[in-house]
Structure 1
Amino acid sequence: MKIDCVGAGPASLYLAVLAKLQDPAHEVTVHERHAAGTNYGWGVTYWPDLLDDLHRHDTESAQAIEEHSVSWQGGFAHVGQRTTAHDGDPGHAISRHQLRTVLAQRARSLDVRLSYGREIASSTDLPDADLVVAGDGAHSRLRTEHATHFGTHVSSGANRFIWLGTSRVLTAFTFAFAQTEHGWIWCYAYGFSPRRSTCVVECSATTWAALGFDRLDHDATLRLLETLFADLLDGHELLGRTDIDSHAQWQAFPTVTNTTWSYGNLTLIGDAAHTTHYSIGAGTTLALRDAMSLAGALRSATAPAQLPAALTAYERDRKQALLPVQSAARHSAQWYENLPRYMSLEPHQMFALLGQRHSPLLPHLPPQLYYHLDQAVSRLQTLRRLKQRLGPRLARTLQRRQQAGREA
């Protein structure tokens, strides 16, 4: 089978790897509009369960990804001059460029053809292929070409954000909230290599404009943000992209959904098919799992005539898996869009609700009430676990004492 993937992101590259592993006879080509070696983006996060899945599908690339990743446990929240810590689940991060490099090298080793520096703006730009996979991102040109068929819907978030790096190396996932005369501005930051961390800054559109970010160029934006987050950065600088002009890359997050993911022999993958708000850190994981699912579905397509059924199975599998993630992402984005509602809480309370931001109940209850209810439920769960662990042991102890009393 001849498979052409457009966009050399993690989804396309990993699909190419898995397709060749399943059948070395597949002719697989990955097309990328940027030149080979182009470095853009900072770090991406993932969690231990993804690493387990990667090892199950291809141990060689999984080991390389793990070797180039950093790990952390728990996190910190800085609210003004106050700080609170949280013992959360372990997480991992890797440079997006390094992830793509690892997957590209693995693909080449399996005789995948990588074509760089050529724009695929339309399906007519592609040679004949049995399957065309649009992995060209949230603004996919191949998807846009057939947007009516796909039922594409794009909605923009209310807040503004910018994706940056910093030379400060953070060893835990860190949140920082700074209050200005024009409202709150905050960032999510985490290390992704021994020398760099990612720093995503977000604020309301009103605060963004009032602080002048709608008028500042890229360098001036970085300098102002360094002032606002001076405590977090601890003397280190913020780093912007070097492949852009002087315009600062602020965005409103685009949530992309599609009614259907396939059109003839064209199918969507990764951000071209769906996006989830960056605040839950799931984008790369979902893209790689799309590739796992599509590769699995293609096992049953030994001839082009069997492709429609395989693509239907792939879409059904991934849409089902996406339901809880999309719900969590939607509520997480709304939590940040309503951030002032929670900032009067004590830092440890606010951080606790930050961890609960995926809950559909949280927007409908007073924050203090929700916090105390959540704490009460946690205590009950702890008591229940304690009872399950100690109950049988306590019963045996009492039984032995009763038996000893009768014998006496």
Structure 2
Amino acid sequence: MKVVCVGGGPAGLYLSILLKLRDPSHDITVHERDREGSTYGWGVTYWRGLLDKLHEHDPESARAIEASSVRWNEGVAHVGDLTTRQPGDEGHGIGRHRLLEILAERARSLGVRLEFDYGIAARDLPAADLVVAADGVNSALRTRYAHHFGTRIDTGRNRYIWLGTSKVFDAFTFAFVETDHGWIWCYGYGFGPEASTCVVECAPETWTGLGLDGADEAEGLILLEKLFAGVLDGHPLIGRPSGGAGAQWLNFRTLTNRTWHRGNLVLIGDAAHTTHYSIGAGTTLALEDAMALAGALHEQPVLSQALFQYEQERRRALLSVQSAARHSARWYEDLPRYIQLPPQQMFALLGQRHSPLLPYVPPQLYYRIDRAATRSETLRRLKRWLGPKVARTVHARTSGE
């Protein structure tokens, strides 16, 4: 089979690896429009479940990824001058540049052709048995056929910016700072021995009130360093390598598609779907897409059947993740509802932000129910039963069903 992957991110590279491992005779080329090593991005997060899957599918690249990752098993929340720390599941962080380096090296070793600094025009699809659109949320291939894919983009309310810092966080760190214009907060996590990712977010009123809407990148970083001095310990924040007149503040876009394939063209990773960054699942989902597509192509001799199987499998797997991401994003948009709670309670509800029930129960009552549920199996079952029912009712009312 001749396969062309458009986009040299984790999804496209890992798919090429898995296809070559299953059948070395596959003719596979990965096209990436940027130069090799020029990727923008700090660190990505993942959890033990993904690492186990990586070891199952390709132990060699999994060992390299694990060796290049840092770990944490605690969360820390700073709310003003108060701090609380809680144990949690083991998380992992790896630099995006290092992850792509590992996957590119592995793909080359298996005979995959990597063509960097090589863009593919959407109107001129390459001749291949299968074309994989792995070119991200702004996918040119998906955009050209948006009417077929049924693409929908919902834009979030809050503003955010993705930064790096030389401060190495020893736990997944949250910091909430109150200003005269409202709250602003950051998520920080390590991804190497000398650096961390730091994502800053705030409501649009806070963003404009602080003057971040009109600040250039240098001015914005100076202001943010002052606001988060308590957690940065004198370390700088680092913007995009290319710099520029304006800082890269964005509104998160949740992207969905009615279908993920058209003829021999299939969507994968962020080209097919996005989930809010606050649940740290983007890279995991992209790699799991690659696993599912490679498996379907191996199991189904007819391409259309393989693509149908891949799409159905991944849609089912994404339902709970996408629901969690929507509720997580809403939790931050509704921050004033929770921020005045005692830090221990606020942090506990921060950990429960994926719950579809939380927005409809008074926060302190939810906290008491959650604490009681940890001691009662009956309450745990009731909580699990109510959550999906509330979510379905709200969805039906808001969608007009």
Q: Is this a same-fold pair by TM over 0.5?
A: yes
The alignment status of 1:357 with 2:356, answered yes or no, reads no
Query: How many residues of Structure 1 are paired with residues of Structure 2 in the alignment?
Result: 380
- 2:387 is matched with none
Cα shift at 1:382: 12
2:82 alignment partner AA: R
Residues 1:382 and 1:99: Cα distance change in structure 2 (over 3 Å)? farther
Could you say which residue in structure 1 is the equivalent of 2:66? 66
Give the share of equivalent positions with the same residue, in percent: 64
Give the AA of the match of 1:356.
Answer: Q
Amino acid at match of 1:300: E
The equivalences for 1:6-405 within 5 A come to: 6-124=6-124, 126-302=125-301, 306-381=302-377
Q: Could you say what secondary structure the match of 1:161 adopts?
A: strand
Partners of 1:186 and 1:203 within 8 A in 2: yes
Distance in 2 between residues matched to 1:119 and 1:28, nearest whole Å:
16
Given residue 138 of structure 2, which amino acid in structure 1 is its aligned partner? Answer: H
- Secondary structure (helix, strand or coil) at the match of 2:376 reads helix
Q: Which has the larger radius of gyration?
A: 1
3-state secondary structure, aligned to 1:175: strand
Amino acid at match of 2:250: Q
- SS of residue in 2 equivalent to 1:253: strand
Q: Secondary structure at the match of 2:126?
A: coil
- What SS does the corresponding residue of 1:165 show, helix, strand or coil? strand
CA distance in 2, matches of 1:127, 1:50: 32
CA distance in 2, matches of 1:307, 1:30: 19
Q: What SS does the aligned partner of 2:251 have?
A: coil
**Aligned CA distance change for structure 1 residues 382 and 313 (closer, same or farther; 3 Å):** closer
SS class of match (1:118): coil
Maintained 8 Å contact 1:61/1:102: yes
Q: Report the Cα distance in structure 1 between the residues aligned to 2:215 and 2:73, rounded to whole angstroms.
A: 36
Q: Which runs of 5+ in 2 are unaligned?
A: 381-401
Query: Aligned residue for 1:392?
Result: none
Q: Secondary structure at the match of 1:158?
A: strand
Q: 1:383 and 1:299, CA in 2 relative to 1: closer, same or farther beyond 3 A?
A: closer
Instruction: In structure 2, give the amino acid aligned to 1:322.
Output: L
- Cα separation, 1, equivalents of 2:375 and 2:177: 32
Q: TM-score, normalised by structure 1?
A: 0.92
Q: Does the 8 A contact of 1:10 with 1:103 survive in 2?
A: yes
Q: What is the alpha-carbon distance in structure 1 between the residues aligned to residue 255 and residue 279 of structure 2? A: 16
CA-CA distance at 1:113 after TM superposition: 0.4
Runs of 5+ unmatched residues, structure 1: 385-408
Structure 1 range deviating more: 325-334 or 203-212: 203-212
Q: Which amino acid aligns with 2:329?
A: A
- How far did residue 367 of structure 1 move? 0.6
Runs of 4+ in 1 over 3 A off after TM superposition: 381-384
How has the CA–CA distance of structure 1 residues 249 and 107 changed in structure 2, closer, same or farther, with 3 Å as cutoff? same
Contact 1:94 1:193 (C-alpha < 8 Å) held by counterparts: yes
**Distance in 1 of aligned mates of 2:165 and 2:30:** 31
The answer (yes or no) to whether the contact 1:168–1:233 under 8 Å persists in 2 is yes
Looking at structure 1, the residues matched to 329 and 317 of structure 2 have their Cα atoms a distance apart, in angstroms, of: 20
List per-residue Cα deviations over 1:274-327 (Å, max 9, x = no partner): 00000000000000000000000010344xxx1111000000000000000000
Determine the C-alpha separation between the residues in 1 that align with 2:304 and 2:242: 39
> Residues 115-151 of structure 1, C-alpha deviation per residue, up to 9 Å, x if partnerless?
0112223150x43011000010011110000000000
Q: CA deviation at 1:354?
A: 0.2
Cα deviation code 1:349-385 (max 9, x no counterpart): 000000000111111111111111111111225999x
Q: Distance in 2 between matches of 1:44 and 1:206?
A: 29
8 Å CA contact 1:40–1:243 kept in 2: the answer is no
Residue by residue over 1:64-91, the C-alpha shift from the partner in whole angstroms, topping out at 9 and shown as x without a partner, is 0001000001110000000001111110
| Aligned-residue CA RMSD (Å) | 1.3
Tell me, what secondary structure is at the counterpart of 2:41? coil
Deviation at 1:247, TM superposition (A): 1.5
Distance 1:108 1:357 in 2: 41
Give the corresponding residue for 2:391: none
Please report the TM-score for the alignment, with normalisation by the length of structure 2. 0.93
Q: Contact 2:168 / 2:193 at 8 angstroms: preserved in 1?
A: yes
